[in-house]
């Protein structure tokens, strides 16, 4: 399942997308839930100070830092 989230601190606005996988406790009858697969998180759109920015045009180190803004992606 594809999920999305938004980060907006007034300076940076980023929309992220990611894939999830069904997870359970591994015993019959246990509840199931979806967890984000960390390495599938991507920056879908990005604006800095109100200016749209192509995330692919940013240095890799900066892309990594922006991806870390999705740390609380649930």
| pLDDT tens figures, 28-73 | 999 999 999 989 999 999 999 999 999 999 999 999 999 999 886 6
**Residues 3 and 16 sit within 8 Å (Cβ to Cβ):** no
Total structural domains within the chain: 1
CA distance 46 to 38: 19
- Domain that residue 26 falls in: 2-70
Is pLDDT at 22 greater than 70 in this prediction? yes
To the question of pTM greater than 0.85 for the whole model, the response is: no
From the number of C-beta atoms within 10 Å of its C-beta (0-12, 13-18, 19+), residue 14 rates as buried
Residue 60 has what pLDDT?
Answer: 95
Residue with tokens 């900066």: 62
Q: Do β-strands 12-24 and 2-8 pair in parallel, antiparallel, or remain unpaired? A: antiparallel
Q: Measuring CA to CA, which residue among 19, 48, 53, 49 is closest to residue 35?
A: 19
Residue 74 has what pLDDT?
Answer: 64
Residue 71 has what pLDDT?
Answer: 80
């Amino acid at each position: 399942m594809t999920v999305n989230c938004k980060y907006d601190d007034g300076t940076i606005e980023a929309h992220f997308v990611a894939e999830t996988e069904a997870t359970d406790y591994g015993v019959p009858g246990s509840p199931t839930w979806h967890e984000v697969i960390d390495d599938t998180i991507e920056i879908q759109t990005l604006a800095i100070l109100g200016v749209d920015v192509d995330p692919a045009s940013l240095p890799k180190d900066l892309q990594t830092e922006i991806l870390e803004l999705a740390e609380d992606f649930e």
